[in-house]
Structure 1
Amino acid sequence: MMKDLADKLTQWIKEQIEKADAQGAVVGLSGGIDSACVVALCKRAFPDNVLGVIMPCYSNPQDAEDAKLVAKTLSVPYEEVDLNDPFDWFIQRLTGQDYDIHSCELSIVNIKPRLRMTTLYYFSNSLNYLVVGTTNKAEMVVGHYTKYGDGGADILPLANLVKSDVKALAKELGVPQRIIDKAPSAGLWFGHCDEKEMGIRYKDLDQYILSGNVPDDVRRTIQTLEEKREHKKYMPPIPPVE
């Protein structure tokens, strides 16, 4: 089943990129399972035209090491772009203060994924590649991504897969077990954990999406996130023409 899924997603990526008259794919490598799966699929679709980009920004050093492990395991060329300095500039310019690595203020930490999006589109434009995003269905449902940050991409091959599907796909694609077992984190701040930020486990979120059979408190948490972040899922609204 996962082999068929991998083949279908590989073909879909190839078709989407060729339809755009582009020549390959660029993927941000975070050191997590989603980006590992996406870059593996892109490597299958375009063996000689895929680039991974590692973009530490006051990140856990282990994330960059894990990203390099993925790139080397899958024989994917990569660029490493340290974003600490431009991030510092923005924080100083906007707040007049130095960055506190323990800060979890979204207006501050969301600058990180937006700088990463800008970096990816530099490589995309210069190489005539598409930016292939890494957001999965669980994240799509509750809007667990940064608008115009990691949500900014040309195609989203994992957007119909819940987290458990991604884990199964990762095994089929040869993603290192260390990456599969790693706790999910967007790395927005020191010690950041996706499940802690959302207030729900991916296991429960998957179950909600697949069957709706979850405890009432979990359902309320998910539905609150859905309503609050609904705007992320669509292009900006425009008024009707009279």
Structure 2
Amino acid sequence: MQIEKVADHIINWLKDYATKANMNGFVVGVSGGIDSAVTSTLCAKTGMPTLCLEMPIHQDKKQISRARKHIDELKHNFANVSGLEVNLTPVFDQFKNGMPQHRETSSLDLALANSRARLRMTTLYYFAGLHKYLVAGTGNKVEDFGVGFYTKYGDGGVDLGPIADLMKSEVYELGSYLNIIDEIMTAAPTDGLFGDSRSDEDQLGASYDELEWAMRHSEAGKSATDFEGRQRTVFEIYTRLNTANQHKMNPIPVCEIPVHLKN
């Protein structure tokens, strides 16, 4: 990958899109992970106002520390960057306590995890509306179009996707080029939605490198029967997640009414 040219392409694309849309800048949710770090840095490099929001909800202290350090680094390097912490823990707790009580299950855990992401989306759009900013998405290609590893109308609720055509490994390449801090570059990827230390790999059952491999072979027309051992397992994981999450990747289905029923 031609790193410098790719970075310049994304930066110019962001600037052109915002200018044509008559918007003033960008707002980015910064989590302490590589995707949001790269996205926020690319937005900062447009020269347009860029608001970095940290939105902890019972967050792991290491994630908070990485996010703060990254935002401080951006503010030091770019006069157009501002940062703000919005502690959503009380909001989340009030929401959770206001819901009918259910016994602890994996379904409840996932519903609450997705609710965290949707509270953050609402917060991002609040500030976007205040300042006439665009909400910049932080999803990469494997997450957005491979396994659908994001929350519908949560971190999937954005205005544009600067890195959505880049594999996770390519995001790391960009991160290195953009001098993202070491703590973020070496941290295990996590969505941080469960308030514990579980990584993305723990949830997905495969690493991003493995899922990239499976995505490329799937796009090339391969099937699970073409592989054995761990490769077959990974390919089956990828296929299962890709199939289950098509509802996230495809447009909202519309029930089209036959013309004769409208007359």
- Report the TM-score, using the length of structure 1 for normalisation: 0.93
Q: CA RMSD in A?
A: 1.9
Q: Which structure 2 segments of 5+ residues have no match?
A: 76-80, 259-263
SS state at 2:45 partner: helix
Alignment of 1:201 with 2:207, yes or no, is yes
Q: 1:41 and 1:104, CA in 2 relative to 1: closer, same or farther beyond 3 A?
A: farther
Counterpart Cα distance in 1 of 2:180 and 2:240: 34
Question: 8 Å contact 1:22–1:128 — kept in the other structure?
Answer: yes
Alignment of 1:210 with 2:216, yes or no, is yes
Counterpart Cα distance in 1 of 2:206 and 2:100: 32
Partner of 2:116: 112
Partner of 2:78: none
Counterpart Cα distance in 2 of 1:113 and 1:224: 23
Counterpart Cα distance in 1 of 2:242 and 2:102: 33
Q: Choose from 231, 241, 252 the match for 1:236.
A: 252
Alignment of 1:165 with 2:160, yes or no, is no
SS state at 1:70 partner: helix
Question: 8 Å contact 2:148–2:245 — kept in the other structure?
Answer: yes
Counterpart Cα distance in 2 of 1:129 and 1:63: 25
Amino acid at match of 2:236: R
Counterpart Cα distance in 2 of 1:191 and 1:95: 27
Deviation of 1:96 after TM superposition, in Å, equals 3.7
Partner of 1:139: 143
- State the 4+ residue runs in structure 1 displaced beyond 6 angstroms: none
List per-residue Cα deviations over 1:49-98 (Å, max 9, x = no partner). Answer: 00000000011022121111111212232110001111011111113489
Partner of 2:240: 224
Counterpart Cα distance in 2 of 1:202 and 1:13: 26
Alignment of 1:20 with 2:36, yes or no, is no
Counterpart Cα distance in 2 of 1:186 and 1:35: 11
Question: 8 Å contact 2:3–2:173 — kept in the other structure?
Answer: yes
Alignment of 1:122 with 2:123, yes or no, is no
Counterpart Cα distance in 2 of 1:235 and 1:120: 22
Deviation of 1:241 after TM superposition, in Å, equals 3.3
SS state at 2:164 partner: coil
Q: Which structure 1 segments of 5+ residues have no match?
A: none
SS state at 1:78 partner: strand
Q: 1:7 and 1:179, CA in 2 relative to 1: closer, same or farther beyond 3 A?
A: same
Deviation of 1:16 after TM superposition, in Å, equals 1.3
Partner of 2:35: 34
Counterpart Cα distance in 2 of 1:39 and 1:132: 8
Identity %: 36
Counterpart Cα distance in 1 of 2:217 and 2:186: 25
Deviation of 1:48 after TM superposition, in Å, equals 4.7
- Report the TM-score, using the length of structure 2 for normalisation: 0.86
Count of paired positions: 239
Counterpart Cα distance in 1 of 2:95 and 2:208: 33
Amino acid at match of 2:213: Q
Partner of 2:3: 2
Counterpart Cα distance in 1 of 2:88 and 2:157: 18
Which segment drifts farther, 207-216 or 79-88? 207-216
Partner of 1:80: 85
Q: 1:208 and 1:15, CA in 2 relative to 1: closer, same or farther beyond 3 A?
A: same
